[in-house]
Structure 1
Amino acid sequence: MRDTRESRLLLILLVAVAFALITVDIKGGESSPLNGARKTAAGLLGPAERGAAGAVDPIARTIRAIRDSGTMQQRLDQIGNENTELRQRLASSDMAAGRTKQLDDLLRTAGTGGYTIKAAQVIAIGAAQGFSWTITIDAGSDDGVQRDMTVINGEGLVGRVTTVARTTATVLLATDPGFTAGTRMEGSGEIGFAAGQGASPMKVELLNGKAQVKPGDRLVTFGSQSGRPFVPGVPVGKVLQVQATPDALTKTVLVQPFVSFTRLDLVGVVVVPPRTDPRDSVLPPVPSNTPSPAAQAQPPAGSASPAAPASPAGSASPAQPSSVPGGN
C-alpha cells in the first residue's frame, strides 16, 4: 500500500475506533455489548489455541528440561562429592581406630618385655640392599636408631635394622631368606635358629634332635649379647609342623610368625634392651581351652609316676648328660 493521505486517515480512524471499543468494553463490564462477540470469538478460537498449545508444550518441556538439567547435574555432583567426603571421613576414622589399637599393643608389648622403643611408621616396602623383604620407616639416626637394632610391633618380632639415615631406616623383615635369629621354645627352653622363607612359614632348626615339640608350641627370641641385633623374649611364632628327621642331630620345625607382615604400619625400634630376660612373659596368654606346655608336661593330679627299673646289684647308675645353652 502506498503511503497516501487517505491511508494515513484510515489508520488514524481505525486506532480511534479501537480505543473507543476498548473504553466501552471496560466500562460495560459483564454487560458490555462486546461480551457476546468476545465469547463467540473465544469459542471459535479456543480449540485452535489448545491445539497450538499442545503442539508447543513438548517443545517447552524440552526447553525447561535442558534448562534444568544443568542444575540437576550440579546437585548430583554435589551429592556425589558429599558421599565421597563421608566415605573418606569414615575411612580416616577406621584408620585412626586401627592405629590406636596398634599403638596400644606395641606399648603393651614393650612394657611387658622392658624394651625402650622408638615408635615409627612404615613409609615404604620393597627390596633393598640385596634383600627381598624389607621396609623403610620414618625414624633414623636423629631419633637414636642404629644398625642391628631389633624391630617389633604389638604382635612380635618384625626384623632388624640394616641401614640408617638421618630421618629414615631400612628394616630387614623376619620373612626374608637372608634373615636368621636365635630362638627359644616356650616352657622347655629348647634353643634353635629361625630362618625366613618369604611367604612360606619360617624354618627353625632346633639344636636338640630329640626335643619334644608339637604343633601349637610357641617360640621367642633367644637374645644376643648387649641386645643387638636381637633382644630376648620377643614373640616369634608358633609351630605349624614338625618335620620327621629320624636319628638327626637337629630337629626341623615350620613356624607361623605372629606378625602379619603384609599389614605392617606402626612398629617400634628397641633402642635400649631390657635389664633382665623377660623369658616367656611377653607371649600372649594361652587360650583357656589350650593347656600350656608346662601344664602338659606335668602328670595329672593323683596319678602315680611310673616306677624306675631296678638297677643290677653293684652297678652304678649312668650319668645324666648336661646341656649348656648357647647364645647367638
Structure 2
Amino acid sequence: MYDKKVIRRRRAALAVLLGLSLILLTAYFGESPSGVLHGVQRGAQQVLAPVESGASKAFKPFSDLFNWVGDAFGAKGQNKKLKKELAATRAQLAAAQSALRENQQLRAMVGLPRRPGFPQGTNPVAARVIARSPTDWYSTISIDKGSSDGIHPDQPVVTGDGLVGKIESATHGTAQVTLITDASSAVSAQIMPDGSSGILRPAVGDPSDLQLDFIQKGRQIKKGQAVVTSGFQSSGLQSLFPRGIPIGRVRTANPSEIQTYQRVHVQAYADFGRFDYVQVLTARPPGVQAASVGVGP
C-alpha cells in the first residue's frame, strides 16, 4: 500500500499546480497584449516553431499513408456499390429490350393474317421457341406447344414476317419444327404478280441463300418481287403449305445457272436466328386461296 504521507504530498503538489495555473490564466487574460505573459508565449512559439515544423514534415508521410488507406477503403466500398447499381441497371435494360422485342414479334404475328392474300381459316396457335439446333444453320427449332394444342406433323409454321418451316414431330406438350433453311426442305412457291412457280430450297453450304428453281426462261423476274407459297392442288395431291404465305423477296435472277430454267435467289423475310415466337397453322383454309401482290412485310 502507498504511504499516506506520499499521497498527501502528491495531493498538495497537485493543488499548488492547479492554483498556479488559475493564477497564470487569470493574469494572462487580464493583462494587455504587450504584457509579460504574452511576451513569454510569443518567445516560446518562436523557439518551438522549427521543432513543430520538422515534426510535421517527419510525420507527413505517415499521415498521408493513413489518409490514402482510408480513401482506398472508402473508394472500394463505393466501387462495389456502383457495380451493383450498374448490374441492376443492365438487368433492367435487358428486360426492357427483351419485352419490347417480344411485343414487336407478337404484334407482327397478330397482323400477319390481315395481310392481303394470306390464307384465312388456318386457326393459328402461338408458341414460344424453347430450343434451337446446335449448328450454325438453324435447321430445326423446338416449341412449347404440342399435340394437346392441336399441333401435328406437316403443319406450316410462320412468324410475323412469313413462312419459316413445318412441324416435323410433336409430343403431348412440345413439337419440333424443320425450318425452310434445312437441307431437306422443299417448298412450292411462286413469284408475284406474274405467278411464275418453282421449288424453293436452301443452297448447298449456304442455308441463308434460298434458291427458287425451275422458273422458265423468258420470264421477266425483277429484284424485289414478292415470293409466296403456291399451294398447288393436282389430282388429289395438295401442297403442305396453303397458298399465299409470304416467304421473301427476289434478290437476284440468274438465267445462265441452268440451261432449261432460270434460278432465282430469294431473301427470306424472316430472320431465322432471332425470332422467339411462332404460329402453327393448325387448320387448312377452306377452298383455294388466291395469292396477292401485297404479301410482303
Aligned 1:102-251 pairs, distance under 5 A? 102-112=105-115, 113=118, 114=120, 115-126=122-133, 133-197=139-203, 198-206=206-214, 208-223=216-231, 229-239=240-250, 240-244=252-256, 248=260, 250-251=261-262
8 Å Cα contact 2:231-2:244 kept in structure 1: yes
The residue type equivalent to 1:90 in the other structure is L
Counterpart of 1:24 in structure 2 is: 23
Retained in 2: the 8 A contact 1:227–1:273?
Answer: no
Q: Deviations over 1:174-216 (max 9, x none)?
A: 1111101111221222221111224341122236455443433
**Residue matched to 2:271:** 260
SS of residue paired to 2:87: helix
Taking the aligned partners of 1:246 and 1:49, their CA distance within structure 2 comes to: 100
Q: Secondary structure of the residue that 1:24 maps to in structure 2?
A: helix
Preserved contact between residue 204 and residue 252 of structure 1 (Cα < 8 Å): yes
**Structure 1, residues 3-26: CA drift from partner, whole Å, max 9, x if none?**
999988876665444223112123
Match of 1:272 in 2: 283
The DSSP-based 3-state class of the residue aligned with 1:182 is strand
Residues in 2 aligned to 1:191 and 1:10: alpha-carbon distance in whole angstroms: 124
Task: Return 5+ residue gaps in structure 1 as ranges.
Answer: 286-328
Cα distance in 2 for residues equivalent to 1:143 and 1:101: 24
Q: Choose 75-84 or 180-189, whichever is displaced more.
A: 75-84
- Higher deviation after alignment, 237-246 or 160-169: 237-246
Higher relative contact order (CA 8 A, sep 6+): 2
**Distance change (3 Å), C-alpha of 1:38 and 1:10:** farther
* 1:153 CA displacement: 1.0
Instruction: Give 2:128's aligned amino acid.
Output: Q
| Matched residue, 1:316 | none
Distance 1:266 1:282, change over 3 A: farther
CA gap of 1:208–1:10, structure 2 versus 1, over 3 A, is same
- In 2, the alpha carbon distance for the partners of 1:246 and 1:205 equals 9
Q: What is the CA distance between 1:55 and its match in structure 2?
A: 2.2
Q: Cα–Cα, structure 1 residues 139 and 8, in superposed 2: closer, same or farther, change >3 Å?
A: same
Kindly provide the CA deviation profile for residues 130-179 of structure 1, in whole angstroms up to 9, marking residues without a partner as x: x9711122222232221111011121110111121233221111111110
Which SS does the other structure have where 1:262 is aligned?
A: coil
| TM-score, normalization by structure 1 | 0.73
Whether the aligned pair in 1 keeps the contact of 2:221 and 2:253 (CA below 8 Å) is no
Long gaps (5+) in structure 2: none
Structural RMSD (CA): 3.2
Query: How many percent of aligned residue pairs carry the same amino acid?
Result: 26
Cα gap change, 1:273/1:46 in structure 2, threshold over 3 Å: closer, same or farther?
same
Deviation at 1:254, TM superposition (A): 2.2
Counterpart for residue 55 of structure 1: 58
- Give yes or no for contact 1:124–1:136 (8 Å, CA) kept in 2: yes
Q: Tell me the distance in 2 between the aligned counterparts of 1:194 and 1:265.
A: 24
Q: Is the 8 A contact 1:233 1:278 kept in 2?
A: yes
Q: 2:103 is matched with which residue: 96, 100, 109?
A: 100
